[in-house]
Structure 1
């Protein structure tokens, strides 16, 4: 159990120092964790979000570059478009490779990346199949149109031959065969022409079945024609064979048209499948971006919670430190005040010549030792005063005989009074030293108050640190809004691509109608120029839509740049937060300096104690002089020995009583007697 007041003071301030060091360590540790989380957001989550957005743009560029390829009309035009598609695919794959390093450090990112790579492979395979199908479609369509033109020429030639044969034939039997053959040829040609105008596989299969059913009757009619009108059959045999080849042959105009329609429908199916795969891929990329955003939000929330916890803990520790300091100061002040009040009251009673009271202070500390010494001195003085009172009554009878001798002793007593004055002056110096000790204690209390104020300054700086972190949170929210803006701008590209697709479909229909019209009318067709003008108008619309897509892409790039700038600003704010932490460390150094001042005040108290010892030495010298004067008075008192043996006995008794006390006690006794 600590009983010394100085030990209690040292113990209290040591406890405060430990609390402050602990709170400082906790604050630095918490700030380090928050800084690490913010660095993780800046170095991992934000680049992941940015790369995801760029990956989406590169992926959409692949889809966008398909439109020029699928709108081309000739095979020779496909090569530069194919090179552009391959270039976009290469950029997309390069952008996708940037996720390999984050994926090697994060299993969740690796899972998302595996899904994206799987969908990417499916999309690229679908794109490759679509490009091959469209290339075949263009090639077969061109060949089909050429064969259809040949078919039209063959039918015209056969119609002319049959009509000429009927006009020059006079035999009724051969006319019937010619009419039957011409009828079958015209019916088959009409159904073939109808098939050329259709672009639905189901309808084409129906016409194909009708033509197959008509094939037998046509063969019979041609056999009958060969039998009844061999000359007509011979003149038309080449055209008839070509007609049959166009209608029933594997490489005829009808088969080529059916294959063209099949490839067209296959292309549409592949396009629809590609759109579905594109949506799935965009969803997978969005999931990766959402994961990065969620991770960033989680780190921010953890940092925010850590800051709040740190602030709360520091507030609690600061409050606890204030309470402990107030408790220590109050206990020490009350102890010193009560003890000093009891000692002052006892000394006042002694100064008033009242020796009936004692100091009631049972504590085993510095003031307890002083109280016991004062009580012991008071007891000794009481005994001396009591015995001196008895001796005084006995000396009263001999005072008349010693009057003359007393006059001689008055001079010596005056000198004793002077020495007693010196003793009083020394006592005043002791009182001044005690006052200096009290002032040092007050200065110590003021220093402790200053230390508490410095702790409040540290608390204010921690508030500023929390405000900076809140501002950083707002900046990160703005960065998230910017990324969302990038997503909205990316979504608007799809609507523009739909417009381009619609325009392309209309262009295809107009081009096909122009080809059919040209095939039917030959060189004299005038509708082709009107259709060509309409195609140019639609091409102009396609160009405008392409420019609008370019503008949207530039907006996406500007938004991404804004997001990067805001993230850099957040990093600067974190640097300022670290500077605030350094300021907190400087305040702790100042607090350490104040505690050093407390140690200096303690040295002043020790110095004042040394002054007490010096004054006590002076008191010893003064009492020694009083003793010399007493010897002189003893020599003078020898002249009174003859008057009374009893007076000599009393003098010896008083000398014996005086020699029992120390010099300080004799000085106090002399002061009380005066």
Structure 2
């Protein structure tokens, strides 16, 4: 959608701005039409109606002039003066009304009628004065001829002109009323059309705006549900540039990073299982070597015991010592060979322990790397939670229209919380693996130290056996001196016997440490299987 290329804030501003423009245009059009109606009503009220009233008043004034003229002609004396005064007032009122009409007259026809009326009223006044003069001079016949002749004609013409002016003003009012009705009808129709168009445009904007929010939110919800179900294989390519597109891209980045993390965890678990198996094999081999060493030590102890008995017998029987010297020399050499074998076996065990320590150290580094990856996952979950919180805030600002968006934001925040919980569980498991790895390393280091002690003891035993061999050789050469030194040789033999017993005890402890190492390696393999089972829930 093209609208998705614009951010939600700009999109909202554009939508509400267009609605505001439509509203302002509608209000402006209404005000213009109202101003036109007001102008028409003002013209009617201030010009047309006063002009009609003045025209009607002009007709009434002229009728009053005719009436007062008739009264003047019919009366004499003071009554005639009274009606003459009324006639002058009627004429003054007529002139005042005619002047007012001249000020209000705008149309050419009205001005022309007023000119005709002024000309007729002037002629009428002139004939009226002639009539009064004829009456005053007693010329009744001439007065009647004038009254029913020229004066009657002027009177009728003037009445027709005034009635024409009244009819013209009435027609102008009717025309203004017609224009007002037409303007009102056209304004009503245009407002209805504009209102319907604005309503349709608002509905269209609302549909497009809502769809631009609900569609990506539905996609985000589907992605979150797939991640919750353990499916990390789906991909989504969104071309939008708004906040929802950024959220979708963040979800896809989280999915890819989570998939990479799971792959790394699976690889690490496999390596951990393989290393555990190798460690178990090496430990078993070490245990077997230690058992063989114990057997050789037991033989050495027996040989030294026999040597001690032989030395004591030398004190009692020097001659028998000379005969047995060769046999003792051979036995001593066998013991020396066994001690050398013990030294070789112990050195091999030390090398194997070094390899085991390196393997367990590598395992600890892999477990630490898994912890770093989990830190990344936790950071992503926190960022997702933050995005969901911002989305909820924006939805709250949007009001009723953002309620659906707020629900989706809550679901995304809950999903981020569950991701954090799962990360915490994996961290707990990794911590347990690290604890067991540390225990294994300590046990192996203790075994390494004890093997070194065994090597030192075996070296000392070899040196002692070398001394014994030399002594036996000297005994063979100097049988006469055996009796005097037999007691000293017996003490040396006892010390060697004690050293061999010490070596045996150390070898026993080393065997116990090897057994513990084997148990730790089996526990490590079990933890690797559990870690692999946890990651197998995800499809990558």
Which SS does the other structure have where 2:235 is aligned? coil
Task: Describe the shift of the 1:670–1:429 C-alpha distance in structure 2 as closer, same or farther (beyond 3 A).
Answer: farther
In the aligned structure 1, how far is the partner of 2:267 from the partner of 2:426? 26
In the aligned structure 2, how far is the partner of 1:101 from the partner of 1:269? 31
In the aligned structure 2, how far is the partner of 1:637 from the partner of 1:96? 130
The offset of 1:102, in angstroms, is 4.8
Task: Describe the shift of the 1:360–1:9 C-alpha distance in structure 2 as closer, same or farther (beyond 3 A).
Answer: same
What does the per-residue CA deviation read over 1:318-341, in whole Å, with 9 as the maximum and x for residues that have no partner?
A: 223222221121112111111011
Task: Describe the shift of the 1:388–1:629 C-alpha distance in structure 2 as closer, same or farther (beyond 3 A).
Answer: closer
TM-score (ref. length: structure 1):
0.44
In the aligned structure 2, how far is the partner of 1:628 from the partner of 1:33? 84
Out of 445, 452, 459, the position equivalent to 2:401 is 445
TM-score (ref. length: structure 2):
0.54
Q: Number of paired residues?
A: 358
Out of 203, 212, 217, the position equivalent to 1:326 is 203
Out of 418, 434, 441, the position equivalent to 1:638 is 441
Show the 5 A alignment for 1:265-276.
Answer: 267-276=144-153
In the aligned structure 1, how far is the partner of 2:427 from the partner of 2:50? 95
Out of 56, 59, 62, the position equivalent to 2:62 is 59
What does the per-residue CA deviation read over 1:516-542, in whole Å, with 9 as the maximum and x for residues that have no partner?
A: xxxxxxxxxxxxxxxxxxxxxxxxxxx
Match of 1:343 in 2: 220
In the aligned structure 2, how far is the partner of 1:66 from the partner of 1:324? 74
In the aligned structure 1, how far is the partner of 2:113 from the partner of 2:167? 11
Show the 5 A alignment for 1:537-552.
Answer: none
Q: State whether structure 2 residue 124 is matched by structure 1 residue 123.
A: yes
Q: State whether structure 2 residue 27 is matched by structure 1 residue 24.
A: yes
Out of 119, 137, 157, the position equivalent to 1:280 is 157
Show the 5 A alignment for 1:386-425.
Answer: 386-399=263-276
Match of 1:35 in 2: 38
The offset of 1:281, in angstroms, is 0.9
In the aligned structure 2, how far is the partner of 1:343 from the partner of 1:122? 99
In the aligned structure 1, how far is the partner of 2:64 from the partner of 2:269? 127
In the aligned structure 1, how far is the partner of 2:158 from the partner of 2:398? 77
8 A contact 1:126–1:274 mirrored in 2: yes
Q: State whether structure 2 residue 215 is matched by structure 1 residue 305.
A: no
Match of 1:461 in 2: none
Which SS does the other structure have where 1:98 is aligned? helix
What does the per-residue CA deviation read over 1:274-298, in whole Å, with 9 as the maximum and x for residues that have no partner?
A: 2221121112112222232233223
5+ residue gaps, structure 2, are 284-359, 446-516, 529-533
What does the per-residue CA deviation read over 1:121-141, in whole Å, with 9 as the maximum and x for residues that have no partner?
A: 1111122222223333xx36x
Task: Describe the shift of the 1:101–1:57 C-alpha distance in structure 2 as closer, same or farther (beyond 3 A).
Answer: closer
The offset of 1:82, in angstroms, is 5.7
8 A contact 2:254–2:380 mirrored in 1: no
8 A contact 1:9–1:328 mirrored in 2: no
The offset of 1:104, in angstroms, is 3.4
More off after superposition, 363-372 vs 29-38: 29-38
Out of 40, 49, 55, the position equivalent to 1:46 is 49
5+ residue gaps, structure 1, are 141-262, 448-600, 655-667
Match of 2:478 in 1: none
Task: Describe the shift of the 1:60–1:104 C-alpha distance in structure 2 as closer, same or farther (beyond 3 A).
Answer: closer
In the aligned structure 2, how far is the partner of 1:669 from the partner of 1:369? 28
Out of 274, 293, 296, the position equivalent to 2:170 is 293
